[in-house]
């Protein structure tokens, strides 16, 4: 009997996605992310990374193209797609006058999670992120790192299948950044999918299963670090054979694209 290996299901499938402001921000982008994958989206400033993520999260309406989240058409049925997604930006979206515990209750209420399981999950997350001692303090006095951890707890309280993060480590100290990275890794190990943009290339190099490089709204390269090195080819010069870093590879890919443009 012949054994057929099915490809893993797709957590995200984007096709022909376009968005134009005064110039094209995202230009016929195709992207596929497998379930249980940690996918890092890299690109220079203004490349279209945040616009892409905001369209996936349902915060921006694309001009053209399609977005499917775990098989759900996110443009036709945004509510169903949002039910299994979470979005975190570099600026933590929390309320100063609520406590972390109240914030998590609010998020759980929005996602329609039963109070008992939401409470248990919230307690678990607060402990996990070292927020337990501050669970009943208002967020207004919190540092950026603590606020980002509260936002992360909010993103996880409804147990999303797909988590979209836009520069989540910006401005975090080493300890908070490590905690966030650990939580994200555990999430992927548990079968969740992470799609993240970052300018900290070392984080992408160490954490991502696959990396996509975007420039001028188009995906110019994609794969593991090894695959990206190969795609960078001549641009890396001798470094290609000696194991170029992601930074070398990324800069070579972007430079090649700029030359081609």
Partner 1 sequence: MTATPGTALWFARHEARLAWRDWLSMITAGRRERLRRVAAAIVVFAVFLHFVAYWMVGPYADAAPDTPTLVAITTSILLSWLLMISQAMESMTRAFYSRSDLDLILASPVSADRLFAVRIATVALAVAAMALPLAAPFINVLVVRGGAHWLGAYALIVAMGAAATALAVGFTVALFRLIGPKRTRLVAQVIAAVIGAAFVIGLQVAAILSYGTFSRNTMLQSQAVLAHAPGLDSLAWWPARAAMGDPIALTGVVAASLALLAVAIVAVAPRFGDYAVAAAGVGAATVRQTRQVAFRPTSPRRTLRRKEWTLLRRDPWLVSQTFMQMLYLIPPAVLLWRSFDDGNGAYNLLVPVLVMAAGQLAGGLAWLAISGEDAPDLVATAPVPKSFILRAKIEAVLGAIALVFAPLLIVLAIVSPWHALVAAAGILIATTAATAIQLWFRSQAKRSQFRRRQVSSRIATFTEAFSSIGWAATAAVAAVSLVLAVAPALIALGVVVGAWCMSPRTANA
Given the complex with partner 1, which of 101 and 257 has the nearer CB atom? Answer: 101
What's the Rg (C-alpha) of the chain? Answer: 19
In angstroms, what is the minimal distance from the CB of 122 to partner 1?
A: 7
What token pair was written down for 35?
């379930």
Answer left, alpha or beta for residue 185, where phi above 0 means left and psi between -120 and 50 means alpha: alpha
In angstroms, what is the minimal distance from the CB of 228 to partner 1?
A: 30
Torsion of CA 31, 33, 38, 39, to 10 degrees: 0
Residues whose CB is less than 8 angstroms from the CB of residue 214 and which lie 6 or more positions away in sequence, other chains included: 29, 41, 42, 43, 47, 48, 49, 52, 220
Q: Is 204 in the site for partner 1 (CB under 8 A)?
A: no
Q: Is 140 in the site for partner 1 (CB under 8 A)?
A: yes
Please state the φ and ψ torsions of residue 96, each to the nearest 5 degrees. -60, -35
> How far is Cα 63 from Cα 25, in angstroms, rounded to an integer?
11
Q: Is 138 in the site for partner 1 (CB under 8 A)?
A: yes
Answer for which of 32, 75, 93, 251 binds partner 1 (CB under 8 A) is 93
Answer for which of 15, 106, 159, 170 binds partner 1 (CB under 8 A) is 106
Answer for which of 9, 16, 59, 258 binds partner 1 (CB under 8 A) is 59
In angstroms, what is the minimal distance from the CB of 233 to partner 1?
A: 39
Number of residues located near partner 1, criterion CB under 8 A: 40
In angstroms, what is the minimal distance from the CB of 93 to partner 1?
A: 4
Q: Is 20 in the site for partner 1 (CB under 8 A)?
A: no
Part of the chain binding partner 1 (CB under 8 A), chosen from 19-27, 112-120, 183-191, 208-216: 112-120
Quick check: 221 and 255 in contact, CB under 8 A? no
Given the complex with partner 1, which of 146 and 219 has the nearer CB atom? Answer: 146
What count of other Cβ atoms lies within 10 Å of the Cβ of residue 254?
Answer: 22
Q: Is 83 in the site for partner 1 (CB under 8 A)?
A: yes
Q: Is 137 in the site for partner 1 (CB under 8 A)?
A: yes
Quick check: 258 and 250 in contact, CB under 8 A? no
Given the complex with partner 1, which of 163 and 254 has the nearer CB atom? Answer: 163
Quick check: 174 and 188 in contact, CB under 8 A? no
Q: Is 116 in the site for partner 1 (CB under 8 A)?
A: yes
> How far is Cα 104 from Cα 94, in angstroms, rounded to an integer?
10
Angle, helices 246-260 vs 225-232, to 10°: value is: 40
Q: Is 108 in the site for partner 1 (CB under 8 A)?
A: yes
- Note the residues at the interface with partner 1 (CB under 8 A): 57-59, 79-80, 82-83, 85-87, 89, 93-99, 101-102, 105-112, 114-116, 118-119, 122, 136-138, 140-141, 154
């Amino acid at each position: 009997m012949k054994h057929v290996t099915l490809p893993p299901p797709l957590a995200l499938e984007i096709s022909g996605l376009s968005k134009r402001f005064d110039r094209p921000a995202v230009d016929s982008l195709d992207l596929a992310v497998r379930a249980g994958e940690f996918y890092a989206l890299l690109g220079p400033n203004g490349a279209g990374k945040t616009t892409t993520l905001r369209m996936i999260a349902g915060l921006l309406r694309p001009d053209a193209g399609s977005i499917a989240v775990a098989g759900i058409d996110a443009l036709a049925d945004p509510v169903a797609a949002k039910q299994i997604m979470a979005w975190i930006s570099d600026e933590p979206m929390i309320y100063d006058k609520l406590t972390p515990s109240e914030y998590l209750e609010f998020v759980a209420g929005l996602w329609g999670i039963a109070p008992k399981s939401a409470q248990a999950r919230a307690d678990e997350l607060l402990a996990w992120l070292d927020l337990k001692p501050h669970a009943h303090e208002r967020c207004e006095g919190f540092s950026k790192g603590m606020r980002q951890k509260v936002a992360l707890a909010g993103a996880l309280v409804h147990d999303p299948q797909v988590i979209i993060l836009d520069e989540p480590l910006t401005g975090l100290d080493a300890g908070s950044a490590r905690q966030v990275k650990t939580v994200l890794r555990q999430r992927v190990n548990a079968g969740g999918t992470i799609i993240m943009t970052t300018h900290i290339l070392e984080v992408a190099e160490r954490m991502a299963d696959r990396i996509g490089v975007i420039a001028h709204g188009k995906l110019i390269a994609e794969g593991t670090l090894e695959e990206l090195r190969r795609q960078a080819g001549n641009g890396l010069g001798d470094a290609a054979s000696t194991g170029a870093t992601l930074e070398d590879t990324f800069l070579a890919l972007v430079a090649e694209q700029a030359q081609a443009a």
